[in-house]
Amino acid sequence: MKVIVTGSGTSQGIPVIGCDCAVCRSRNPKDKRLRASVYIETGRLKLVIDTSVDFRQQMLRNKLYDIDAVLFTHHHVDHIFGFDDIRQINQQQKKIIDIYGSRRTVKELKITFRYALDKELIRYKCVPIFRSHFVSGKKFKIRDTEIIPIKLKHGHLDILGYRINDFAYITDCSHIPENEFLKLKNLKVLIINALRRRPHPTHFSVEEAVNNARRINAEMTYLTHMTHDIPHNKTNKILPQNIRLSYDGLIINI
């Protein structure tokens, strides 16, 4: 199984427009962060979690030209606004893309991209062509790959994380319900959000992410969805050895 972190930044990306802080001016490529997303290959299945605003750039940068499915965590702009660009995969690979998300997420996607439901536009293949599937709290399969949804809180909003084999991805989370920790046992790799050093009402801070990572106790944890409040090299020096910052282009083989 291979995981590529295609984006490790928060909703504004790094550098932030008009910001002159040290991280935004940094020459370290690991301080340059597109919006949060990952690409996963396991067996014959290729998928992404969220089609971020930067989806097109992320696919091109990592020389990725095909996916079979998209798992959506929730419907916020930075996690869905690259959805239109799956039509290039429809056209080039001659396939329909399966999308998975909560009922609310799928509903919001169809509102935001309502033109994609137009039958004439579908016939001419000039819109993203997809099949939608509703995700509850129950595990499901895409082909032969088992997916375990993780029910999470993003402030007051119900969102989803996902476990695939020994890997789990959690982003935009501010609370993991007690019974969901059972789904996160015996992980080899965890990716979890850490917005900034200071507390935030709808996202884990670095300290909160580290505390949850210690409880989950994966062999290796990577932090994602980070603002310009978090310099890569400086922050890594103060983290536990098995907890590191992710970065755009990080490849994880499991």
Q: How far is CA 9 from the centre of its chain?
A: 10
Global pTM? 0.97
* Residue whose token pair is 């301080």: 31
Q: Between β-strands 37-42 and 2-7, what pairing exists: parallel, antiparallel or unpaired?
A: antiparallel
Looking only at Cα atoms, what is the longest distance across the chain? 56
Region 84-96: mean pLDDT is 97
Tens digit of each residue's pLDDT (9 = 90 or more) over 55-65: 999 999 999 99
- Position 166: which residue type? D
CA distance 179 to 199: 24
Region 176-199: mean pLDDT is 98
Tens digit of each residue's pLDDT (9 = 90 or more) over 189-245: 999 999 999 999 999 999 999 999 999 999 999 999 999 999 999 999 999 999 999
Task: Give the domains, in start order, of the chain with CATH numbers.
Answer: 2-253 (3.60.15.10)
Output the average pLDDT for the chain: 97
What per-residue confidence (pLDDT) applies to 66?
Answer: 98
Region 127-147: mean pLDDT is 96
What per-residue confidence (pLDDT) applies to 162?
Answer: 98
